Amino acid sequence: MLPIMVGICLACIGSAMLTTAVSLHLGKPGISPQVVQIVLTAYPVGFLIGCLVTRPAVAHYGHERTFVAILVLALLAAAGFVFTDFLPSWICFRLLGGLAMASLFVVCESWINLYAEHHNRGAMFSIYMLTTAIAVLLGQVLVALVGPQSPHLFLVAAATVLLALVSKFTGGRWPALPAAPPDPDHASTARPVKRLGPLALFRLAPVTVVAIFQGGITNMNIFVLTPIYGTQIGLSAGTTVGLVTTVSIAGMLAQTPVGWLSDRFERRIILLVQGILSVTLCAAIAWVGNASVPLLFVLFFVYGCTALTVYPVAMAFGASQLHSRHMVGASGTLLLLYSIGNVATPGVSAGLMEHMGAPAMFLLLGGGAVLVTLAACYNLLRRPVVATAMQTIEEQV
């Protein structure tokens, strides 16, 4: 698994550097706000496209060769910034960059789901999540080391993506995936494998679909809107940055312990506990405000440990409900839901904060956590999905 983690880590470092470098360049005087908006929107649009197109590539070429092809695409997109500052072309580069990163995530997550077993899937997903979080952090450290205004910033980012591609060839082949268990029902009908959409996945694992969407809401809003929240409640810039750093570190530190727990206890119960804790913490943060800054830091730390670890637990549970032939398509669908949560909700949350005040940010986050709690309860109380029910769901796709 080490070669995969090295490759995804280096690719994420390069992507994080490019995101910061592009934003810094677009902040220079004389650039049209409309152009800025289009360039920034290109990445999430590409990300959504990547979630949709990766499954056919993996089905045709396999995980490893698809991974290499995507890294080549990511390298070409990164190199484009080195050779031209023509902004219309940057739209294409960001679109390709978003597509490449989404495809890398789909390939890695589906491969982990196929490679892992029930007893270690949570731990392996926590390692993957920890790797991507550290990569984003290292990307920002590299930006600071190179210099935010350095003319070599794009070159270093592209070189990092190149290292990801080189590591694939120097690290050897990926471990062989276990043979898929036989599925007589599917073999006898000889139907082609179809993508399981959100509704079909919801029927199989309701809490996974809800929790993944909530993960997208949380992971975007907590980092993008916490600075606005801190300003509105009267915190200093330094304190606000400290809150963002605290919740980020908390999420990284909690990944491994929560992954370990999810391999030893019922994952639906862990998601239920995470949902209840998240609701409680959102209410506590909204109530405390700036009355006690030390307490606010403690609440943000515990919230980061709880809310930022929902995604890997939900993915691990969802994978345990699927046949291996659906892993790639399901990973793409779930990542698409996560992306929609990322893209669609910051504007809603900002609007709520404008009309209802800073605590409204945690009204949205807490509301999502309530849905996770309810979905976990429903998943625990309903009858397990048996093979015949699974076949019926597939026929309705």
Instruction: Over range 275-291, report the average pLDDT.
Output: 91
Instruction: Over range 208-228, report the average pLDDT.
Output: 84
Query: 17-68 pLDDT, tens per residue?
Result: 898 888 888 877 887 878 887 887 888 888 888 888 888 888 888 888 999 9
R_g over Cα of the chain = 21
Q: How confident is the model at residue 95 (pLDDT cuts 50, 70, 90)?
A: very high
Q: Where is pLDDT greater, at 280 or 321?
A: 280
Instruction: Over range 62-81, report the average pLDDT.
Output: 93
Burial of 361 (0-12, 13-18, 19+ CB in 10 A): buried
Q: How confident is the model at residue 383 (pLDDT cuts 50, 70, 90)?
A: low
Burial of 284 (0-12, 13-18, 19+ CB in 10 A): middle
Residue 69: per-residue pLDDT: 94
Let me know how many helices (H) and strands (E) the chain has, helices first.
17, 0
Residue 325: per-residue pLDDT: 66
Please report, to the nearest 10 degrees, the dihedral formed by the alpha carbons of residues 48, 369, 376, 249 taken in order.
80
Task: State yes or no: pLDDT of 373 exceeds 60.
Answer: yes
CB 261 within 8 A of CB 270: yes
Q: ∠ CA 251-254-258 to the nearest 5 degrees?
A: 125
Q: ∠ CA 75-78-83 to the nearest 5 degrees?
A: 115
Domain spans, the chain: 2-171, 198-395
* Integer Cα distance of 49 and 96 in angstroms: 10
* Integer Cα distance of 279 and 277 in angstroms: 5
Query: 113-146 pLDDT, tens per residue?
Result: 788 777 788 888 888 888 988 888 888 889 889 8
Q: What CATH code is assigned to 198-395?
A: 1.20.1250.20
Q: How confident is the model at residue 192 (pLDDT cuts 50, 70, 90)?
A: very low
- Average pLDDT, whole number, for the chain? 83
Residue 385: per-residue pLDDT: 59
Structure tokens at 33: 């706000």
Structure tokens at 134: 């550290």
* Integer Cα distance of 136 and 14 in angstroms: 9
Q: DSSP secondary structure string, 333-372?
A: HHHHHHHHHHHHHHHHHHHHHHHH-TTHHHHHHHHHHHHH
144 contacts: CB under 8 Å, gap ≥ 6: none
Domain 2-171 is found in CATH 1.20.1250.20:
yes
Residue 186: per-residue pLDDT: 47
Structure tokens at 358: 């800073």
Task: State yes or no: pLDDT of 390 exceeds 60.
Answer: no
* Integer Cα distance of 321 and 315 in angstroms: 10
Query: 310-361 pLDDT, tens per residue?
Result: 988 988 888 777 766 676 777 778 888 888 887 777 777 778 888 888 888 8
Query: 295-307 pLDDT, tens per residue?
Result: 999 999 999 999 9
Q: How confident is the model at residue 189 (pLDDT cuts 50, 70, 90)?
A: very low
Among 223-227, 234-238, 295-299, 349-353, top mean pLDDT goes to 295-299
Task: State yes or no: pLDDT of 222 exceeds 50.
Answer: yes
Q: How confident is the model at residue 233 (pLDDT cuts 50, 70, 90)?
A: confident
Task: State yes or no: pLDDT of 184 exceeds 70.
Answer: no
pLDDT above 70: percentage of residues in the chain: 90
Q: How confident is the model at residue 285 (pLDDT cuts 50, 70, 90)?
A: very high
